[in-house]
Structure formats: structure tokens, C-alpha cells
Amino acid sequence: MSNFFREVLWQRLRRNRMAMTGAAIVLAMFILAILAPAIGRDPGAIDIAHRLQPPGLAYPLGTDDLGRDVLVRILYGARISLLVGFVAVGIATFIGVLLGAMAGYYGRWIDALIMRFVDIMLCFPTFFLILAVIAFLKPSIWNIMIIIGLTSWMGVARLVRAEFLSLRERDFVLAARAIGAKDARIIFRHILPNAISPVLVSATLGVAGAILTESALSFLGIGVQPPTPSWGNMLISGKQTLGTAWWLSVFPGMAILITVLGYNLLGEGLRDAMDPRIKD
């Protein structure tokens, strides 16, 4: 992106209150996740004498059935959720950009082959496909990240292909071909930087989707396994005491809601800021 485009994008994004609210939520959650170890409390420390304590001064968000601090576990769970979101989206974006660029740039049988593969992948419900794959693997955070990434690249591929189809016949691409530039240089140095806008929006929204998917898998008991704190497994552990210890389910659920809302608001703001059809 040129400096001028970045300045215009920032100016339009800054005027979008919803986008700035989302950015503030994302930044706050990121800072809290990074600073979680600075609290000095072990998220797995068991203290039976203080089990099921309601929110108060000593424990702002209460304790669970083993006396573990809910606030500390939510902050460490944020590290897990953000790690899963960024790594899974990174894998999906890499695969989607690579295949979409090849399909859009070369066209013909390469385009047909890649897009038929995309269509086949889209025929399977993503969540049930993830469940089927996990059934054959040991549940772990790394398996979750890889599986989510390998099953969520199709939208990125279609976006990148569409952008390449509209850009590959532009004058700057024809000029690059005329001076003998190789295909790889044209794809990654000339076309891709001009096609990156929808990818950024898709990646931002994809982080929210990956966090939701990880939370759902952990809630079902096939995601991140205890005692590692995850918002999803915190929700399932609080289900048994929902009537007497509401804070065990409410606060992890709110963390998921606020974080996903923040990424969605930021993604929608980026989409509006990058859309030239929307006037200032």
C-alpha cells in the first residue's frame, strides 16, 4: 500500500466510531493477554479453602470449584484464544492467497481445477468437518489451530481470485510482462499488494470465527484440554454449578462475546474504509 492510501485509510477508519470501538477492544484484550503473567498468580493453583467464592475484593471475578481465580484463568484463556485465532487465520490466509493467486493469474485449467476443489471443500459444513478430523487426532491446541486453518481458507481463495481476475490485465501488469518480469515477481510484487485489502478484512473477521470455533470445540471437550485454561472449557466446567455459581459461566461467556464483537466491528470498519464506493 502507498503512504497516501494508508493515510486515507486511517482517516476514514478514525471517523468510524464502531471501527475504533472494535480496535480499542482488540487492543485492550491483546494487552491483557500479554500482561497476564505479570499478575503473579498461577491459573492452575488449587485452593480448596476458597472454592466457589463469589466476586469480591480478593477475587474480582470469583473462584471456581477448585478455588482457582476466575479472572486469572480468563486472562490466560485470552492468550490461548488469541493464539488460536492468529495462527489459524495465518494458515488459512497463506493457503487462500496462494491458491487464489494461482487461479486468478493463470486461469484456464489451473483456475478450473482449484475452484472445483474449493467448491468441494465448501460442500462440507466446516464445523462438522473439523469434528470429523479431530476424532482421529489427539485433542491439543496445535491440532486445533492447524485444523481450523486447513478448513477455513476457501473464502480467502475466492476473494483473491476475484481480485486477480480484475487486476491481471491492468496496464502496470502488462508493462511488467513487457520488460520480462517473471510470473512470481508479477504476482507477489505487482498484483498481490493491490489485492490485499479484502484479505485484511477477511483475516480480521476470520480471527473472530476461529475464536468461536475453538471455544465451541473446547466446550464440547475435544478442544484445549484442562487444566490449560480456555474460555470454552471454563464454560463447560461452570455448567454444573450454574444455579449457585453463575460467575463461572457468565464471565468466560462475556469474554468470548466482547472479543468476537471487537473483531467483527473492526473488520466491518476496515471493509467500509477500504470500499471506494462509500463516500467520506
Tens digits of residue pLDDT in 142-172: 888 888 888 889 989 999 998 888 888 888 8
Residue 169 CA, chain-centre distance (Å), reads: 33
For residues 110 and 259, what is the distance between their CA atoms, to the nearest angstrom? 39
Query: Of 102-111, 148-157, 174-183, 252-261, which gets the smallest average pLDDT?
Result: 174-183
pLDDT band (50, 70, 90) for residue 13? confident
Residue ranges of domains in the chain: 3-274
Mean pLDDT for the stretch of residues 136-147: 81
In this predicted structure, the answer to whether residue 91 has a pLDDT above a threshold of 90 is: yes
Question: May I ask the CATH class of domain 3-274?
Answer: mainly alpha
Q: Are 19 and 13 in contact (CB under 8 A)?
A: yes
Mean pLDDT for the stretch of residues 169-186: 83
* pLDDT tens digits, one per residue of 29-74: 989 888 888 876 778 788 888 888 888 888 888 888 888 888 889 9
**CA-angle at 267, arms to 33 and 99, nearest 5°:** 100
Task: Name the grid cell of 207.
Answer: 480471527
Query: Of 76-80, 135-139, 145-149, 154-158, which gets the smallest average pLDDT?
Result: 135-139
Top-confidence residue, 5 or 227: 227
Query: Of 104-113, 149-158, 234-243, 270-279, which gets the smallest average pLDDT?
Result: 270-279
Residue 254 CA, chain-centre distance (Å), reads: 17
Q: Which residue in 153, 154, 97, 147 sits closest to 127, CA to CA?
A: 147
Top-confidence residue, 132 or 101: 101
In percent, the amount of the chain with pLDDT more than 90 equals 18
Whats the size of the chain, residue-wise?
280
Contacts of residue 151, defined as CB under 8 A and 6 or more positions apart, other chains included, come to 121, 126, 129, 130, 133
Q: Are 218 and 236 in contact (CB under 8 A)?
A: yes
Instruction: Give pTM, 2 decimals.
Output: 0.86
In this predicted structure, the answer to whether residue 4 has a pLDDT above a threshold of 50 is: no
In percent, the amount of the chain with pLDDT more than 70 equals 94
Give the chain's mean pLDDT.
Answer: 84
DSSP string of 227-244, one letter each residue: TS--HHHHHHHHGGGTTT
